[in-house]
Chains A and B, each alone.
Chain A
Amino acid sequence: MLRFTLYRLGHSVLLLFLVSLIGYTILHLAPGGPLSQYALSPGMSQAELNQIAERMGLNRPIPIQYLDWLSSFLVGDWGESFRDGRAVLSVISGHLFATILLVLSSSVISIGLGTLVGVLGATRRYSAWDYLATVGAMIALSIPTFWFGLVAIYVFALRLDWFPSGNMYSIGDESFLDYVHHLVMPSLVLALVNVAIWSRYMRSSMLDVIGQDFVRTAKAKGVSGRRVLYGHVIRNALIPMITLAGIQLPMLLSGALVTETVFTWPGIGRLFLDSLGYNDYPVIMGVLMFTAIFVLLGNLIADILVAIADPRVRLE
């Protein structure tokens, strides 16, 4: 298990290295490159810019510059925001809670609901229900998240007035229930696509397992139908779903960005969009790298969880 974890960790470090290369390349794509930070501030002359370039070491060979950037990046020096001069990392962490809250609650909904729909689809295969779930999932996959959010706001906030149309809490309230009240719509909207994906994969994973020899063995042992379903079929069908959860993370974050925009939710996605509006390149870069590392970590955790759930993986 330790060896497996170390191997996976090594793999993630390699990926992190590649991710940083991509990030550095994009940073240099920014108009003016790393210098853009200063180029945009008013009253900056070309001579002064050159001086800064010298001071920042931008006239050194690119690999050296990269290593320099990487080493300060690794110790948490991600630059300062153009807007208020705060350290990028602390700007990001200020918006982290809102995103985690949204992503987590929406994941709970989509995993719970998706598993249920998938299991029912597989156990009642070819039934009217199964057909409806299949078609429904494919349509749900095709709905743009932001549009679904708009429709939800129109119906449930503007017409029915059941839920607030945005924000994370009401000013002056901020009770737990107030948070929940604000959370319902965005987390359901964000969950829609993921319920669809999760249910489709769960269904096919279930069907794979139902056909396996060990399920027949369990039945031949006289194990009850319910225990065969829960203890053998679902137990094994969930293993590939852990990997899927890791793979779906980037999509979940993309969805979160859009959902946060529609519901004026103060998370990373909103921060990112606002920073785009202000050409706040250090924050843009920081968020981009942050999401990649978040995904990388998520996949690492998924890999370790799979190894815990499946004894065959531990040996490899």
Chain B
Amino acid sequence: MTRVLTVENLNIGFRSEGRELPVVHDVSFTLEAGKTLALVGESGSGKSVTSLGIMRLLPPPPQSRARGKIILHSDEDIDLLSISEARMRRLRGDRIAMIFQEPLTSLNPVYTIGDQIIEAIRSHRAISARKARERAVELIDQVGIPDAAARLTTYPHELSGGMRQRIMIAIALALEPEILIADEPTTALDVTVQAQIIDLLRRLQAETGMAMLFITHDFGVVADIADRTIVMYAGQMVEHGQTEAVLETPLMPYTSGLMRAVPELETAGLNQGELQSIEGFVPNPASLPNGCAFHPRCTHTLSGICDVPPVPFEDAGNGHLVRCKRWQSILENAE
């Protein structure tokens, strides 16, 4: 078990109309080689901002500001939040790579896919164009696209969404990074293509031993790919544990609510009761509710308890963490 990345008390705020709005609060986790950590939540929960914060791809201060520690473990520990932009650039794509939600718009339309893979390689390694091209063919082949050499000269718009996401993966893997951040890589794809991409990512992880941070709002995908799972709500971690533990005995009512909204889990037998969505909306970061951020939408809310801070992130045993004051009584009532 090798830790490759440790995130400690990451806080991210965006500047809006003269003041800073906190969008990520005290997020902490570790990534391990060969393992996948899933970050789950609705849009607006802060999961994508967390991943862009790790890559330092958020707008520069003062528009956004990140505090805390993001430590990349290697021969020496590097705190990504304290190194220069030039040094961060050398790590991006090389040690930490990222793929995105929209394969249709994530590739530059005016360059061939060969050029775009080669650009990634030659941004970090001083190798000849011919060597880089050979490596690009190898990568295209590795992500399961037939006739790799011929694909070098095709343009993104000539490929389907699934194919383009495979190319994005090829670009991300070009320099054999230790960490791959995948920000909802399957959300924009058809269900069958989704499954193929998940399979591909699992196979590539087995081959390369990279750590994966997988961002999604879909528990079906979580069950397929993640070793550990973090559920985020309103910029906070609200549940964190082994994926089986979180899926089998979700302790936070928000987690169970999210799971009830997923059709796939129903057929997998993990989801009891009918399919339903959670009432209401994710709160605006400018006006978070007092106490538990989820309490206005929660069916288990008790006033005088849930709306009173602080709400600690408690260990419920076996490293299964939950941010809910009532998790024990809810669990007992269910039994």
Q: Is the CB of A221 within 8 A of B108?
A: no
In the complex, which of the residues B57, B89, B91, B124 has the most CB atoms of chain A within 10 Å of its own CB atom? B89
Q: Is the CB of A212 within 8 A of B89?
A: no
Taking CB atoms, residues of chain B closer than 8 Å to A310 are 109-110
Q: Is the CB of B119 within 8 A of A212?
A: no
Q: Contact flags (1/0) for B104-147 with A, using CB distance below 8 Å?
A: 01111110000000011001100000000000000000000000
Which residues of B (224-239) have their CB < 8 Å from a CB of A?
none
B94 located at the interface, meaning its Cβ lies under 8 Å from any Cβ of chain A in the complex: yes
Q: Is the CB of A220 within 8 A of B97?
A: yes
A43 located at the interface, meaning its Cβ lies under 8 Å from any Cβ of chain B in the complex: no
Taking CB atoms, residues of chain A closer than 8 Å to B3 are none
Q: Is the CB of B157 within 8 A of A311?
A: yes
A235 located at the interface, meaning its Cβ lies under 8 Å from any Cβ of chain B in the complex: yes
The CA-CA distance from A315 to B159 in the complex, in Å, is: 13
Tally inter-chain residue pairs, CB-CB below 8 A.
Answer: 75
Q: Is the CB of B123 within 8 A of A312?
A: no
Taking CB atoms, residues of chain A closer than 8 Å to B119 are 218, 221, 223, 227, 231
Which residues of A (165-188) have their CB < 8 Å from a CB of B?
none
The CA-CA distance from A259 to B135 in the complex, in Å, is: 57
Taking CB atoms, residues of chain B closer than 8 Å to A221 are 92-93, 97, 119-120, 123, 171
Known: A311-B157, A312-B155, A312-B157. A217 touches B106 (CB 8 A): yes
Question: Shortest CB–CB separation between residue A74 and chain B, in angstroms?
Answer: 38
Q: Is the CB of B89 within 8 A of A214?
A: no
Chain A residue nearest to B122 (CB atoms) is A223
Question: Shortest CB–CB separation between residue B174 and chain A, in angstroms?
Answer: 8
Q: Is the CB of A225 within 8 A of B89?
A: yes
Question: Shortest CB–CB separation between residue A241 and chain B, in angstroms?
Answer: 14
Q: Is the CB of B55 within 8 A of A239?
A: no
Q: Is the CB of A217 within 8 A of B94?
A: no
Q: Is the CB of B110 within 8 A of A222?
A: no
Taking CB atoms, residues of chain A closer than 8 Å to B102 are 213
Chain B residue nearest to A315 (CB atoms) is B157
Chain B interface, number of residues (Cβ within 8 angstroms): 27
Q: Is the CB of B57 within 8 A of A216?
A: yes
Taking CB atoms, residues of chain B closer than 8 Å to A243 are none
Pick the residue among A222, A227, A315 that contacts B93 (CB under 8 A). Answer: A222
Taking CB atoms, residues of chain B closer than 8 Å to A142 are none
Q: Is the CB of B110 within 8 A of A213?
A: no
Q: Is the CB of B91 within 8 A of A214?
A: no
Question: Shortest CB–CB separation between residue B178 and chain A, in angstroms?
Answer: 14
Pick the residue among A219, A235, A315 that contacts B92 (CB under 8 A). Answer: A219
B294 located at the interface, meaning its Cβ lies under 8 Å from any Cβ of chain A in the complex: no
Taking CB atoms, residues of chain B closer than 8 Å to A223 are 89, 93, 119-120, 123
Chain B residue nearest to A214 (CB atoms) is B108
Q: Is the CB of B90 within 8 A of A222?
A: yes
Q: Is the CB of B108 within 8 A of A216?
A: no
Q: Is the CB of A222 within 8 A of B124?
A: yes
A224 located at the interface, meaning its Cβ lies under 8 Å from any Cβ of chain B in the complex: yes
The CA-CA distance from A232 to B107 in the complex, in Å, is: 10
Add 11 more A-B contacts to A219-B57, A221-B171 (CB < 8 A): A213-B100, A218-B119, A220-B98, A220-B100, A221-B92, A221-B120, A222-B92, A223-B123, A224-B123, A235-B110, A236-B110
The 9 A-B pairs of least Cβ separation, nearest first, read: A222-B93, A222-B92, A221-B93, A213-B105, A221-B120, A214-B108, A311-B155, A220-B98, A213-B106
7 contacts between A and B (CB under 8 A): A213-B105, A217-B106, A217-B168, A221-B171, A232-B108, A311-B157, A312-B157
